[in-house]
Chains A and B, each alone.
Chain A
Amino acid sequence: MIDVMQHLPILLVAIPILMAAVMIMLRSHPKLQNILNVTVSIVLLLMSIQLLFHVWDNGIQVYEVGEWGKYGILLVADLLGSSMVLLSSGISLMALIYSLDYIQEHSLSSTYHSLFNLMIAGLNGTFLTGDLFNMFVFFEILLLSSCALVVSQGKGGHTKTSDKMEATFKYLILNMIGSIVMLIAVASLYATLGTLNMADIAVKISALSQSGTLPWHLFMIAPLFIIVFGNKAAIFPMHYWLPDVHPSAPSPISAMLSGVMIKVGVYGVLRVCFLIFPDALFLLKPMIIFLALATIIVGAISAIGQNDVKRLLAYSSISQVGYIFLGIGMGTALTITASLVYLVNHAIAKSMLFLTSGSIIHHAGTRDMTKMGGMIQSAPLMSSAFLIGAMSISGLPPMGGFIAKFMLFDAGILDQYYIPVAIALLFAVLTLFYMFRAWLRMFWGEERDFVEHGEYRAQNTSLYVSIPIILLAAAVIALGLYAEPLIVLSQAITDQLLDPQPYIDAVLTRGVR
């Protein structure tokens, strides 16, 4: 019988790809598609939990695809990779359950399920691969599948198809340019060092720098990777595609894009900068801090001016990613731990907010916050969920966001980064302002003018919509009240990141089968 534990890393990538094909075959059986896809997502979630525990107990797991040894394709599951897989599997299960009710039947049965599976395969592959070129390939899978998912239409059609097309065009072109830059960076690394295996690259670069013969252009390649991953994560000069794409996607896809997809950029920076370029960090850290602060400022200021609820959330995502990068840029053990905690909290809270905003838009029949008001009477579940999310994003005490922000600022002050922390703290107040202003505008105050804007849609929230929102909201509160496991996990991840030797040993010194 198949030893599942041994094959976990590849199963997490291969099962979604197989399912993508099966879903095309089942196009004429929508019910079966729904049941099968949810079942597979639950199985993937269980497997990713298993993988995390396995890695926690037994150290880094390396999987050779095709048994080609060191020169073949390697999957490496370390703590960072496997916990990112767990995060993405959890959020994608929630988004999938939500989309069963939210996406139009026509688009749901024809392409949605198979593209969704391809997207999960791309995400899991990016997090688990041990090889730079494969990371590029999985980025492409991720880009193309998510691009098609942005076009799929939710029920009610509150987004014009022309807007979707414009957003998709921007997304596709800008990310293609990002991919080309990544290809150039990977190719120049390969031309210099003759290997694509990340652990091997790390060994060779450290050997070169110890003998003092590090070629100067390696210091150019490192910022190229910052451009690539920064483009994925939408940090400051490359952020302008995000506020078009995330709002025009249907809500479950917005949740995936904002919750997990921009974290792929963060993952890439953590992986590449700390594993491959530890010698170039003195150059990268000030750069990342500067870009992160610019991102925080631009995102927060732009968010204040928004009337569209999903656009507001998208700008808030930009600003929050700035905080995550700030912690990475400061680059000590404490700040990286803090930004990992921040990453998890933001992923869960922001995907919950996007799912909630989908229901709010559905309920009100418009995306314009100026045309909403007094909805707390007619949509109590949505208003409390949005409040929980807003509190977490702006960092108020009982929620997970508070722990994250507190740890980040505390660590920054301990490491004497006073000015960046001061700027970040100032704009954290703006976060509080724009999140709560949105909540007040939508849920409190007078009910809107029924003659002009029409009645609110009668409340019949289905279980498919409410269960994911309630579960994610519970997770937000749980991470605030009992943050200890997450903090311990983040500390362990940070230890692995700052000391890449176990990773290199696990990849390069294995018994050859």
Chain B
Amino acid sequence: MTTIITKTVTKICIPLIILFSISLLLAGHNNPGGGFIGGVMFVAVIALTYVVFGLKKMKTVFDPHWEKWFAFGLILASITAFTPMIYGHNFFRSAVHFVDLPLFGEIELVSAGLFDIGVYFVVIGSLLFIFKNVGDDE
């Protein structure tokens, strides 16, 4: 697994796949994509580095507490869901706002997008937490 070819290809792939996962995340809500798919894509690339470079070496470079990502995502998603109550609406009511930006044209800002970002982090945190712990087990 750790031939020079896989290592080089992996290094090239990391930024591409991460960007692709973010674009999937942002494409969600109206088009195919969304938090879950984007998160799984992100997990795939991190898992690839774990497999190619080895868990020990990756830990020296980049070793976040994945369970914190999970918790952050869940908190973000819950807060998104709670917020409409402050404005006198029901739980989970979503709001839409259109913004005109000079270069991009009209952009649709949806509060459900925040929920999607929460899901993104939940998926990343939970899958990588399991992956890392199972891999760590001697």
* Residues of A participating in the B interface, judged by any CB pair closer than 8 Å: 2-3, 7, 10, 14, 17-18, 20-22, 24-25, 27, 63-67
Contacts and interface: CB of A to CB of B under 8 A. Distances in A.
B53 interface: no
A65 to B, nearest CB: 5
Main secondary structure of the interface of A (DSSP, over half): helix
Given A7-B85, A18-B82, A25 B75 contact: yes
Interface stretch (B7-15, B20-28, B39-47, B86-94): B86-94
B71 interface: yes
A2 B86 contact: yes
B85 A21 contact: no
B82 A24 contact: no
For this complex, into which size category does the number of interface residues on chain B fall?
A: 20 to 34
Given A14-B78, A66-B90, A66-B92, A2 B71 contact: no
Main secondary structure of the interface of B (DSSP, over half): helix
Contact of B68 (A7, A10, A25, A65): A25
A69 to B, nearest CB: 11
Contacts of B75: 18, 21-22, 25
A366 B68 CA distance: 39
Given A2-B85, A25-B68, A65-B92, 6 more contacts: A18-B75, A21-B74, A22-B71, A24-B71, A66-B90, A67-B90
Interface of B: 67-68, 70-75, 78-79, 81-82, 85-86, 88-94
B94 A66 contact: yes
Contacts, number: 53
Given A2-B86, A17-B78, A65 B71 contact: no
A67 to B, nearest CB: 5
Give the one of B70, B79, B85 with max A CB within 10 A.
B85
Give the one of A7, A25, A64 with max B CB within 10 A.
A25
Contacts of A2: 85-86
Contacts of B94: 66
Contact of A64 (B67, B74, B79, B90): B90
